[in-house]
């Protein structure tokens, strides 16, 4: 097959898939419109879910309008090169009129400075490290453009050392956390969205200065349930051809739960991870839950 698992190349110390490094100058020079909204995440933290919520909020809960195209076409992925039929992020953005909902996995220091110069709104979603790791592991098994994950135990160590694509989870969640007030970033947690999706949808609505009825909020919560998004061909990444995303290995909409890490970490791995976590996170107090 012609599918390539891209090697990682470092940009300012952050390992990125080689095609991102190759296009780095044009990514860094990207000029958003002040009306554009950035959705930033470490991979597998709840990006697609949040993109769907925002698209529905913008379209007043109109389910059909939000089935006009697959997620990565409705809400381009800034730094991605995609195999056909999905165009690359920058190419797609060039052809779209603002306001655009732009996805990125870049850590804060690599976000094109135009976003902050233009005072764009930005929403960050963080997910507890262990569930995020497990979700990423399954994704790396099925996404044939990502580096091979290898055995799970080794994957835990790569995660802890910040060697996966888009770099260190620890630096990622901290980078946006420390800038959230200065840059007016709405910082959300996957676990909060699971606990009370209605509350988090309303929080996003207020941040974006949107106003929809209670009935529409209820509808958005329903339409963005894990089950409904898993069955929605415009949200479940069935748009990416199977040699690239082999969803028979693991579906993009895999489990959608909090605490699945307990089915994957041994008690020894969990203890070792927790000790390292404490060291890596001691300089901040981000209220992550469900790690023990």
Residues with catalytic function: 105
Q: Which of residues 108-147 bind ligand PPS (CB under 6 A)?
A: 135, 138
Verify binding: residue 20, ligand PPS, rule CB under 6 A.
Answer: no
Least gap, CB of 127 to ligand PPS (angstroms):
8
Considering the rule CB under 6 A, would residue 255 count as an interface residue with ligand PPS? Answer: yes
* Residue 152 in tokens: 């799970």
| CA–CA separation, 121 and 87 (whole Å) | 24
Query: Residue 1: which residues within 8 A CB-CB, separation 6 or more?
Result: 144, 243
Does residue 256 bind ligand PPS (CB under 6 A)? yes
Q: Please state, as a whole number, how many other Cβ atoms lie within 10 Å of the Cβ of residue 233.
A: 10
Q: Least distance to ligand PPS from the beta carbon of 248, Å?
A: 15
Q: Which stretch binds ligand PPS (CB under 6 A): 14-22, 41-49, 148-156, 262-270?
A: 41-49
Q: Counting contacts by CB under 6 A, is residue 83 touching ligand PPS?
A: no
- Cis upstream peptide for 9 (omega within 30°): no
Q: Is 43 in the site for ligand PPS (CB under 6 A)?
A: yes
CA-wise closest residue to 101 among 126, 73, 80, 82: 73
Q: For the CB of residue 126, give the shortest distance to ligand PPS in the complex, in Å.
A: 11
Alpha-carbon distance of 149 to 18, in angstroms, equals 16
Binding flags for ligand PPS, 260-279, as an x/- string (CB under 6 A): x-------------------
Closest distance to ligand PPS from the beta carbon of 93 (Å): 17
Q: Which of residues 47-76 bind ligand PPS (CB under 6 A)?
A: 47-49
Under the criterion CB under 6 A, does residue 219 sit at the interface with ligand PPS? no
224 touches ligand PPS by CB under 6 A: yes
Instruction: Pick the stretch among 9-17, 25-33, 38-46, 148-156 that binds ligand PPS (CB under 6 A).
Output: 38-46
**CB hemisphere CA count around 105 (13 angstroms):** 23
Strand partners, 9: 16
First to last CA, the chain: 42
| Cα(61)–Cα(124) distance, integer angstroms | 22
CA 285 to chain centre: 22
Instruction: Confirm or reject binding of residue 44 to ligand PPS (CB under 6 A).
Output: yes
Cα–Cα distances in angstroms (integers) from residue 185 to residues 40, 204, 216, in the given order: 10, 11, 25
Binding mask 166-205 for ligand PPS (x = CB under 6 A): ----------------------------------------
Residues that bind ligand PPS (CB under 6 A): 41, 43-49, 135, 138, 224-226, 229, 253-256, 260
């Amino acid at each position: 097959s012609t599918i390539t698992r891209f090697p990682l190349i470092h940009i300012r110390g952050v390992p990125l898939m080689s095609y991102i490094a190759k296009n780095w100058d044009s990514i860094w020079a990207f000029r958003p419109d002040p009306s554009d909204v950035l959705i930033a995440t470490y991979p597998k933290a709840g990006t697609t879910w949040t993109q769907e919520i925002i698209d529905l909020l913008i379209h007043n809960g109109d389910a059909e309008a939000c089935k006009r195209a697959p997620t990565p076409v409705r809400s381009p992925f800034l730094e991605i090169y995609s195999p056909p039929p999905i165009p690359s992020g920058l190419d797609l953005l060039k052809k779209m009129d603002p306001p655009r909902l732009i996805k990125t996995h870049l850590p804060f220091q690599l976000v094109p400075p135009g976003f902050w110069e233009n005072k764009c709104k930005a929403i960050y979603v963080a997910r507890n490290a262990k569930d995020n790791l497990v979700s990423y592991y399954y994704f790396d098994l099925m996404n044939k453009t990502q580096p091979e994950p290898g055995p799970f135990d080794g994957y835990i160590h790569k995660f802890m050392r910040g060697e996966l694509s888009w770099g260190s989870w620890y630096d990622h969640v901290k980078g946006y956390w420390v800038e959230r007030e200065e840059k007016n970033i709405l910082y959300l947690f996957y676990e909060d969205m699971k606990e009370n999706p209605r509350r988090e949808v309303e929080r996003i609505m207020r941040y974006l200065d949107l106003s929809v009825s209670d009935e529409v909020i209820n509808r958005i919560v329903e339409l963005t349930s894990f089950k409904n998004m898993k069955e929605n061909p415009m949200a479940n990444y069935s748009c990416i051809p199977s040699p690239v995303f082999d969803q028979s290995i693991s579906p993009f909409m895999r489990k959608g739960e909090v605490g699945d890490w307990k089915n994957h970490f041994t008690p020894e791995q969990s203890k070792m991870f927790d000790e390292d976590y404490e060291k890596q996170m001691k300089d901040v107090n981000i209220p992550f839950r469900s790690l023990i």
